[in-house]
Amino acid sequence: MKRAKPGDLRAVVEAIPGPLAQLLARDWPRGLPVAVNELIEQGLLGEQRTVEELAERIGRRWVAFGYENDLMDSLGKGVRTSLGVLEELVSPSKCWGNNLDCEDGIDRRTGDDCPRCVEQRAERRADREQPLAERPPTVEKPTPVPAPYVPEQRDDAVGINEEQRALAREVLRGRTRLPR
Ligand SMILES: [Zn+2]
């Protein structure tokens, strides 16, 4: 497998928000585990994001998921580990429709809602509203040309909510600067 440049890995690690970086340094005094590099490589090579895009994702999710406020509390109770939080910040965007350009529900090329996620949300709504007996039989969709990397399908329970999507939309359109 292709490896990411060490400088790129370091640059992404440097984007970790200060309070989390401190906790990680405390929990991993001899350096972060290899799993962190693998996760960042997945973003750089698998998802083909730039260092800047991954740094932006980390900063945006840090704000959107409200870690700044509740990180200390939850860590004290052993609910979350610093490494677990880092994984949530760096992990590939999960797209309901397997759109590689989908960044937490927003298409990074247009800054608009990911069309595949929109389709899926509409389908789910229609499914819920339609009584079971009236549903048409499922038709196999033609298989698309295989992409080198397919984002994981998002699980409803941990899906990005409208507020988080709105933040992603603003940031990806360059209107909001996240605090560093
Ligand atoms: Zn999507």
Instruction: Decide if pLDDT at 86 tops 70.
Output: yes
The single-letter DSSP state of residue 161 is: -
Give this prediction's pTM. 0.71
25 Cα: distance to centroid of ligand 1 (angstroms) = 34
| C-alpha closest to that of 87 among 156, 143, 16 | 16
Domain boundaries along the sequence of the chain: 1-92, 95-180
Instruction: Decide if pLDDT at 14 tops 90.
Output: yes
Q: Indicate the range of 30-39, 76-85, 114-123, 124-133 predicted with least confidence.
A: 76-85
DSSP letters, 54-84, are HHHHHHHHHHHTTHHHHHHHHHHTTS--HHH
163 Cα: distance to centroid of ligand 1 (angstroms) = 15
116 Cα: distance to centroid of ligand 1 (angstroms) = 5
Distance CA 179, CA 177 (A): 6
24 Cα: distance to centroid of ligand 1 (angstroms) = 31
